[in-house]
Structure 1
């Protein structure tokens, strides 16, 4: 069984050591990815090697709606053998050892190094460049050691996590009608009144459902893999030149222009985010919270961590520019693959 969507990046296709054991609905593998034998990729699982390489060892297990990605200019991702990733987790531009269990709703950030025989508990965040030595259970935000663990228990927790996933609940994708400058991945789902501005992109396995109010996305804004947006009341409005990271959860809210919403963040209904805000990975907002512009926010719930300096603003602009380029390239590659 092959992934639902396989695309090249800069002419390079993924390489599989053998046919995966299972690939779920909406599963996607892109670019310079090398996948070991006996891989299992769940519904809406995304492995995206577009700029650096992704290499995963044998018996890699990627849970439903989880994402493996790289940092375009700095880091690839390397996973050893027998790595198990739960649901709605992000493994981003890092190194993961062998016999590792990454439970549900975990975020691992750029430059982190995870040792062998490690368990990362559900809901944890591994901060950039963190080192998690072998043989421990880690949990929290930032992830810290809880207790030592033996390999037999690691294997048992991996088996329990795999057994609990079942077959997933993904729905078939419906092709949206969009402007020719917009990229919508074939594995994304758009339902209801969704408006996408020129040059915007909705990446692989995203789910945008305008149940009541509309979802309005500004020009050149990118919504990255496995993000879920639900409007159940007045709707969602996202400004132009904004980045919504991987596996973000968004309710009815307003997000301004030139913002960056970090990987795995959760935006509560009624939140208002002003222009030029960076929200850190794994952060949450309270219902009705106002995030003032010009600041880096982070935490659960979010609080001001510092000013949005020139370097951060430049980095945010580079991400937008890079994803506009990705969108143009993916439109061509996806059309050629159909």
Structure 2
């Protein structure tokens, strides 16, 4: 069994030590990824090594709609043996040891190091460059140690998490929206309803855009990254141009301005308005109807102002947009070559 979609990056295809035990619907593996024996990849699971390498050890389990990715210019991702990742989690540009359990909705961020024999509880965020020593259960945002844990307990938690995963929800039939040639929509993305995609927009792997009630409008050169889910239930979703929606974002009816960035694993409540030139840190949430002013870095649950949006952050946001425009052009070419 192989993933639904395998693509090279810079001419390099993924390498599997052996045929995976299971690959779910819409699963995707890209680029310089090395995956150990007895891997299990759930529905919508995405492993992307497009710029740095991803190395995953033996008996790696990736839950439904979870994402493993890299930081293009700085960090790859390395994961040890017997690591279990739950549903809707993100393992991003970090190092994870062996015998680790990463529960549902966890986000691990760039440069973090997770040692052997760790459990990270559901919904936790491991901040950039954090170090989680082995032998503990961690929870919270940022993730902090809660109590010691033995390897036997880690193995039991892994087994329970895998048993709880069950089958993924049946995928709704997708529409094929008419898009201009500069737009990239991944073959494993699912779009339904009234959706307008601006020139150069990029909709990445295993995303879901559901606009059967209210419309979804995505601005020019905006990217929506792997496993993000946008559901309009009324007034619709409007996203400005040159904006980044990170991996595994959940979003209801809202307005997001131009040149903004919504970080990995954020949850945007219905009625939220995010102004132009705003950045929402990974793992943050908004309250219904909340207004996020431009020119600031926001974070927390619910989001609050953390700092002014300085020149370095603005430059980083611009580089991400440019990089994803390039990714979109390349993936569009590669996808067109597939049978």
Same topology, TM > 0.5:
yes
Corresponding residue of 2:64 = 64
- How far did 1:167 drift? 2.0
8 A Cα contact 2:193 2:210, kept in partner: yes
Residue 226 of structure 1 aligns with which residue?
Answer: 227
1:299 aligns with 2:296: no
Which segment drifts farther, 158-167 or 92-101? 158-167
- Alpha carbons 2:40, 2:62 under 8 Å: kept: yes
| Mapped contact 1:25–1:170 kept (Cα < 8 A) | no
Task: Report the Cα offset of residue 178 of structure 1.
Answer: 1.3
Q: Given the two structures, how large is their TM-score scaled by the length of structure 2? A: 0.99
Cα distance per residue 1:270-327 (max 9 Å; x no partner): 0000000000000000000000000000000000001000000000000000000000
1:264 paired residue number = 265
1:18 aligned onto 2:18: yes
CA deviation after TM superposition for structure 1 residue 32, in Å: 0.2
1:43–1:170 contact (8 Å) kept in structure 2 = no
Task: Map residues 246-285 of structure 1 onto 2, 5 A cutoff.
Answer: 246-285=247-286
2:261–2:278: 8 Å Cα contact kept in structure 1? Answer: yes
- How many angstroms apart in 2 are the aligned matches of 1:72 and 1:181? 22
1:237 Cα offset (Å): 0.1
Cα 1:175–1:16 change in 2 (3 A) is: farther
Partner of 1:134: 134
Quote the residue 2:48 is aligned against: 48
Give the number of equivalent residue pairs: 338
Cα distance in 2 for residues equivalent to 1:290 and 1:170: 35
Q: Which residue of the partner structure matches residue 162 of structure 2? A: 162
Moved over 6 A (4+): none
Cα deviation 1:25-55 (Å, max 9, x = unaligned): 0000000000000000000000000000000
The structural deviation recorded for 1:212 is 1.2
CA distance in structure 2 between the partners assigned to 1:254 and 1:167 by the alignment? 33
1:337 deviates by 1.9
Cα pair 1:193 1:214 within 8 Å, conserved? yes
- Tell me the TM-score normalised to structure 1 length: 0.99
> Structure 1 regions of 5+ residues with no counterpart?
none
- Work out whether 1:176 is the aligned partner of 2:177: yes
Structure 2 equivalent of residue 243 of structure 1: 244
d(CA) in 2 for partners of 1:23, 1:96: 22
Pair 287,253 (structure 1): closer, same or farther in 2 beyond 3 Å: same
- What residue number does 2:320 align with? 319
- Aligned pair 1:86/2:69, yes or no? no
Alpha-carbon distance in structure 2 between the residues aligned to 1:133 and 1:166: 30
Rounded to whole Å, the distance in 2 between the matches of 1:116 and 1:55 is 16
CA displacement, residues 206-228 of structure 1 (integer Å, 9 cap, x when unaligned):
00001311000000000000000
**What are the equivalent positions in structure 2 for 1:63-212 lying under 5 Å apart?**
63-171=63-171, 173-212=174-213
SS for the counterpart of 1:156 is: helix
Structure 2 unmatched ranges of 5 or more: none
Q: Report the secondary structure of 1:75's partner residue.
A: coil
**Larger mean Cα displacement after TM superposition, 94-103 or 166-175:** 166-175
- Cα distance in 1, alignment partners of residues 262 and 37 from structure 2: 35
